[in-house]
Structure 1
Amino acid sequence: MSTATKPKHIGRNISRIRELKGMKQEALAVAIGVSQQSVSNIEASETIDEEKLTEVAKALGVTVEAIKNFSEENVINYFNNIYDNDFSHSNGGIQANHCAFNPLDKMMEIVDENRKLYERLVQAEKEKVELLEKLLKGK
């Protein structure tokens, strides 16, 4: 029985990461400056030269190591960890974020501030009109 491990299929990893990011082959092709057919060929290749792999990684917004070490299990673990860290499983409920202030109170403060600004603007316009009337009467 052989203990040699099968090398990872880099092209397939690129394809899965691209799909998980919701990116089409055409978009990746534009990002790395090749044709869609070239992206298809890259994704069909078991190995890719480091320079091209670096370009693809940059276009996908991941590291070269992320592409090389990609596995479905890691993705599942990643999302499970996000879920575990973001939500509380105590009492079977979800822990909600609580505001340190009442949003309605803040909104009413803004409305009141806008009203005061409007009143000042109206008062300034009245003063301008009075000044103009005085100037016209003086002629």
Structure 2
Amino acid sequence: MSTLIKPNHIGRKISRIRELRDMKQEALAQALGTNQQAISAIENSETIEDGKLAEVAKALGVTVEAIKNFSEENMISYFNSFHDNSTNNGQNAAYPIYNFNPLDKLMEVYDEKEKLYERLIQAEKEKVEYLEKIIKGK
């Protein structure tokens, strides 16, 4: 029994990473200063020269090693732990990073609503007391 070994097709890896980054070939071409047909040729190539690979990696926002070692199995953990430390991070980020638990936020909103309701009840009680005082004074 022989096992088939998948070839290390760099172009397919670039294509898959580009798709995962929700980037079209035209957008990658523009980032590299080329055209869509050149990107298509790169993605169909089994090997790519190191200089060009470095440019593509930079345009995709990943490292050369990430492209070379890319596999479907490890891509989930890689992209979940990838943090962009460039100027695209933060307020103007294309992919914002949320660091909160939605249930915690929901509970905070619920507690805040409860406090506001209690303040409203207290204000109404004070208003009733004030009006009763005015009525008794007449």
**Interval of TM-score (by shorter of Structure 1 and Structure 2):** 0.5 to 0.7
The within-5 A match list for 1:29-48 is 29-48=29-48
Gaps of 5+ in 2: 82-100, 116-138
Q: TM-score, normalised by structure 1?
A: 0.55
Return closer, same or farther for 1:50/1:79 CA change in 2, 3 Å cut-off. closer
- Secondary structure class of the residue paired with 2:62: coil
Extract structure 1 runs of 4+ deviating beyond 6 A: 1-4
Gaps of 5+ in 1: 82-93, 106-139
The yes-or-no answer on 1:52 pairing with 2:52 is yes
Report what 2:134 is aligned to: none
Report what 2:104 is aligned to: 97
- Look up the equivalent residue of 2:44 and give its one-letter code: A
Percent of aligned pairs with the same amino acid: 66
Rounded to whole Å, the distance in 1 between the matches of 2:65 and 2:57 is 9
Report what 2:62 is aligned to: 62
Q: TM-score, normalised by structure 2?
A: 0.55
Q: Which has the larger radius of gyration?
A: 1
- Alignment RMSD (CA, Å): 3.6
Deviations 1:49-96 (A, max 9, x none): 011000000000000000000001112455799xxxxxxxxxxxx883
Give the aligned length.
Answer: 94
